[in-house]
Amino acid sequence: MATQAHSLSYAGCNFLRQRLVLSTLSGRPVKIRKIRARDDNPGLRGTTLYYQPGLLYGGSVEHDCSVLRGIGYYLESLLCLAPFMKHPLKIVLRGVTNDQVDPSVDVLKATALPLLKQFGIDGESFELKIVRRGMPPGGGGEVVFSCPVRKVLKPIQLTDPGKIKRIRGMAYSVRVSPQMANRIVDSARSILNKFIPDIYIYTDHMKGVNSGKSPGFGLSLVAETTSGTFLSAELASNPQGQGAAVLPEDLGRNCARLLLEEIYRGGCVDSTNQSLALLFMTLGQQDVSKVLLGPLSPYTIEFLRHLKSFFQIMFKIETKPCGEELKGGDKVLMTCVGIGFSNLSKTLK
């Protein structure tokens, strides 16, 4: 196991998930100090954390998530770890399925799962299902995520984003009039219909116990390209008792505009999943992987620094200005050679 000398030390509460995930995968202990040290009641029941990673066991798990963050907050980390368990993971998460802070379960299902399939993570047992919806502040949602295990990951070459061929979406409403979802759909289409005819936005109105504990509505939109890239955008209404009431028409139009912005940024992976793609490229077989991304988000830039600390891996970063071939904003071509990570948890009996 990693010795004391190999442990990494950080200060501050930012990027906690990144550090814990990379520590778990690399087997290097991590110490984090000064976690919200000046707060009256600092988080994590303390201000210092030492984490010595063990093996990822997997199997069937149930967890009640904090309603202060969406289930997507937890799922983003699980997506990084799930393929490297000893047993295939099947986890039930309860809490907030859609909020204004974290990626919703809808968006992760539509964008992160197809991305994992590019790396060879696929099969009948690979799914993300929304059983109940839950909006903040009460939560009450429930999702089931199951993922097969893999010994190694395939290298990828995602350099052609393709052109947008269709747009799909999900307008959901819980504990409000079902008409809300229809109003969202009409207003979103009023903008998107100008660009492309193949648009279908489903409405999802869950009733009774499946609608969670708080009222709310929202929309997630996903644009699919000719080369199998998925770009997403989403918006949710303000939590009950917080902020001004949002009109469904405004929400629909604003979400459509957000999708157009994401399409302008472009790339072969949307901004939500940049770090997930870069992690799996790092862990891939000892072969060259390439991916074309839109502008790197601050979260992704910090993630690249952490990848260097934990795995000593550096990416070749080439800027590709928009021109004849590439439309929209400037793109970045990321290239690396995988470290040949192999799933140690799987081999141990």
CA distances from 216 to 23, 66, 193, 209, 292 (A): 37, 18, 26, 15, 36
Looking at residue 347, what is its pLDDT?
66
Looking at residue 37, what is its pLDDT?
80
CA distance 239 to 236: 9
Phi, psi for residue 152 in degrees, rounded to 5: -135, 160
Looking at residue 117, what is its pLDDT?
96
Task: Tell me the per-residue pLDDT of 304-344, one tens digit each, with 9 for 90 and over.
Answer: 999 999 999 999 999 988 776 667 889 999 999 999 998 87
Looking at residue 2, what is its pLDDT?
39
Looking at residue 4, what is its pLDDT?
44
Contact by Cβ (8 Å): 108, 146: no
Looking at residue 310, what is its pLDDT?
96
Residue 157 in this model has a pLDDT that exceeds 60? yes
Domains in the chain, please, with CATH? 1-54 (no CATH), 164-265 (3.30.360.20)
What lies within 8 Å, CB to CB, of 295 at 6+ separation is 265, 271, 329, 330, 332
Contact by Cβ (8 Å): 54, 28: no
Looking at residue 47, what is its pLDDT?
84
* Amino acid occupying residue 94: R
Contact by Cβ (8 Å): 266, 161: yes
- Joined together, the tokens standing for residue 331 give 């793109």
Task: Tell me the per-residue pLDDT of 76-114, one tens digit each, with 9 for 90 and over.
Answer: 999 999 999 999 999 999 999 999 999 999 999 999 999
- Average pLDDT for residues 118-131, to the nearest whole number? 95
Task: Tell me the per-residue pLDDT of 18-67, one tens digit each, with 9 for 90 and over.
Answer: 999 999 999 999 999 988 888 877 766 678 899 999 999 999 999 999 99
Q: Report the mean per-residue pLDDT for the chain.
A: 93
CA distance 268 to 229: 5
Residue 118 in this model has a pLDDT that exceeds 60? yes
pLDDT tier for residue 227 given thresholds of 50, 70 and 90: very high
Contact by Cβ (8 Å): 140, 212: yes
Contact by Cβ (8 Å): 277, 331: no
Distance of CA 343 to the CA centre of its chain: 22
Whether this model's pTM surpasses 0.75: yes
- Average pLDDT for residues 222-241, to the nearest whole number? 96
